[in-house]
């Protein structure tokens, strides 16, 4: 049964190797790879798939790694790129959201809404207290996103108690280097939709971006404490998730 339904789309968890292979193929397409995208984390994660209900076509996917608490954060994909020892003291379950992508031919805003409806169900069902992951920008040209990075510096840096530190060899230290006032319109225009949604719920980011030339992306560590989501937004998310669940 689908985990979540909305309009033309349904979301559910992968149920076997065929579903995961389909997700890996979509990721490869979205990330511009010659073939499918896959790594050892795939076997450890829960995979969420969003399909067109009528046709069954896969239009979006992501994966979730459930951790019992901050002491396990070193097991995460993000820990390969960020020094996360500050998060080791986090009490409560955590879930790393990764490899999120939407088919390049699909621009319907309901797809992202279905993703967040399904994520809300996952968070509630598993008692997750923090969502985190790497929020990616297309390409590795930092100059394409200076207004966005300036806005992240001005408004959305991580609390000091959870501060992610530099670990990767190739980074853009935007919080230290940028001395510009962001143009809000340009900043939001170039901001990835997933990151924009995180920040709208009170999420925060690292003070630097990792330059990942293998994946041809820039990414920032992103965290969202579920208890810090504004109450009105929490009520809206849960009302949508419960109202559309099957």
* pLDDT tens-digit series, residues 105-145: 998 988 988 898 899 999 999 999 999 999 999 999 999 99
Q: How far apart are CA 63 and CA 42, in angstroms?
A: 8
Does residue 123 lie in a domain region?
A: yes
- Helix 231-244 to helix 109-126 angle (10° resolution) is 100
Tell whether 135 is covered by a domain.
Answer: yes
CA–chain centroid gap for 217, Å, is 14
Q: What is the pTM of this model?
A: 0.94
Whose CA is closest to 169, among 213, 203, 135?
213
Judge whether 9 lies within some domain: no
143 inside domain: yes
Residue 3 lies in a domain: no
Is residue 37 one of the residues assigned to a domain? no
Structural domains in the chain (count):
1
- Residue 226: inside a domain: yes
Tell me the backbone φ, ψ of residue 158, rounded to 5 degrees.
-60, 150
Interatomic CA distance for residues 95 and 76, integer angstroms: 9
Which of 197, 81, 186, 176 has its CA nearest to residue 131? 197
Domain membership of residue 34 (yes or no) is no
Domain extent, residue 114, equals: 65-244
What pLDDT, in 10s, does the model give residues 10-38?
999 999 999 999 999 999 999 999 999 99
């Amino acid at each position: 049964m689908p985990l979540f339904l909305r309009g033309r789309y349904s979301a559910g968890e992968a149920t076997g190797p065929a579903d995961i292979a389909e997700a890996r193929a979509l990721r490869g397409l979205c990330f511009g790879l010659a073939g499918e995208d896959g790594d050892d984390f795939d076997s450890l994660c829960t995979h969420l798939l969003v399909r067109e209900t009528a046709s069954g076509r896969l239009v979006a996917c992501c994966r979730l790694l459930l951790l019992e608490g901050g002491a396990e954060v070193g097991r995460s994909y993000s820990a390969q790129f960020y020094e996360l020892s500050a998060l080791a003291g986090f009490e409560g379950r955590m879930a790393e959201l990764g490899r999120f992508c939407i088919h390049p031919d699909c621009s319907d805003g309901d797809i992202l809404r279905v993703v967040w409806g399904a994520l809300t169900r996952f968070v509630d069902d598993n008692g997750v207290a923090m969502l985190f992951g790497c929020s990616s920008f297309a390409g590795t040209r930092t100059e394409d996103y200076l207004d966005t990075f300036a806005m992240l510096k001005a408004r959305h840096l991580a609390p000091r108690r959870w501060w992610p530190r530099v670990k990767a060899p190739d980074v853009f230290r935007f919080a230290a280097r940028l001395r510009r006032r962001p143009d809000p319109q340009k900043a939001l225009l170039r901001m990835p939709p997933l990151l924009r949604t995180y920040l709208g719920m009170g999420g925060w980011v690292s003070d630097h971006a990792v330059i990942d030339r293998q994946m041809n992306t820039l990414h920032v560590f992103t965290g969202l404490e579920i208890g810090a989501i504004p109450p009105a937004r929490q009520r809206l998310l849960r009302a949508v998730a419960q109202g559309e669940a099957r």
